[in-house]
Structure 1
Amino acid sequence: MLAPSNQLDGISGAALQMQRELQWFKEVESIVPPICKDLVNADGKRPSELFTEQHANLVKEGEKWMKDIAASSSFVAALIVTIMFAAAFTIPGGNDDTGAPIFLGNDLFMVFIISDSISLFSATTSVLMFLGILTSQYAENKFLTRLPTKLIIGLSTLFLSIATMMIAFCTALAILLKGRSTKVVIIPIILLACVPVTLFVLLQFPLLVEIFISTYGPGIFNRKIERWY
């Protein structure tokens, strides 16, 4: 039987609601006698079959919820991949006659290269994770850990790519404007660069934390339960 709406409303997204229903089912299944798993009701249906039937709509809603998040997030991650890949070959200051970067010996240049690389690789990982979500098989048991894990990795790497992209942007400006009233220009830019990172944290980080706790937290029954057999 599907949980009352007032209990599910406190859980973000249909996918996490389906995950919670599965967790309840697995917990109950683990404490009842094994013979109960194969018992049938008046309609000749076993508990697992009845669960699947009653949660069919929630599975569809969970699939739509996850695909919507994956589609929008993968678009952002793909843009970051494009930007950071281009930035790796249009480095600040350009190259000298030998082809070496002009600011190769600058510490800020190394920060730029490292942050650019991290942003590129993490954004690529994020795209792959979200593509995995879009092409996944949405069987009900996948909502327990597999799909939430992909979403956790995708959102985490997307956050990392955004943060390191802003670091790369700020260091590139610092390199180019070095010695030219840098503090007057760089400090406001750094503050502005914190805006997208802060917005992402405010908008998506609570969801990421909720998914992580729901998937890898202590569980529904955070106590020792005696089996019925």
Structure 2
Amino acid sequence: MTLPTNSVVLQGSGADVDGTIKSYAWSQVSGPGTAVLSGASTSALTASSLAEGSYVFALTVTDNQDAVSTPDQVTVTVNPAPAVTYTLTTTASPGAGGTVGRSPNATSYASGSVVSLTATPAAGYVFSGWSGDATGTTNPLSVTMSANKSITATFTQMPPTTFTLTTTASPTVGGSISRTPNATSYASGTVVSLTATPAAGYTFTGWSGDATGTVNPLSVTMSANKSITATFTATGGGAQM
């Protein structure tokens, strides 16, 4: 038998070739606990309040001449209750807004298990809260499994972050700076290519401000407002203004 069923009926019998059976006597021989016995003086014993483990019960019968039989034993095995498990469904809303990680990562969890959920926003999104079978903004979130649960992590898209790029030629007559792409502002992470082109009689000698070196063209990743100067130096054929 398997818990939560915790009682059993044992049906006994006796025979006497030269008489009749006068009485029955059931008793508990062993077990993990003391069972509650009903009908112990009848042929049918009800044993209840059984716990997990093995019980041994004995039956003796007495005939009409008061002869007592040798005890006949029976073993009752009580199996543990099946483990109760629950499922946990997690959803990111919107799907492109981020991910929901879990630890431990499993398809089902034993009752009472604690699962840690972590909401990780994608680039351009922020985590804004839990809904469904959880609320609030705690992240990571601890979830105790006491039922099947469904939890949604909501992410909110942030307004795009843009930065300006100011370029200056020094001296102004020394040359020019072109940019690709050519725009007044750039989204965060945009890569802009700057090309310094010297005028006649000048040579490009380097970058300064928010860039250094002499690489030309120069790749600039926009992570803040930036100001970059291209310096040109007059050669023998020109005069610096």
Task: Output the TM-score relative to the length of structure 2.
Answer: 0.24
Which has the higher relative contact order, 1 or 2, with Cα contacts under 8 A spaced 6 or more apart?
1
Task: Output the TM-score relative to the length of structure 1.
Answer: 0.25
Higher strand share: 2
Higher helix share: 1
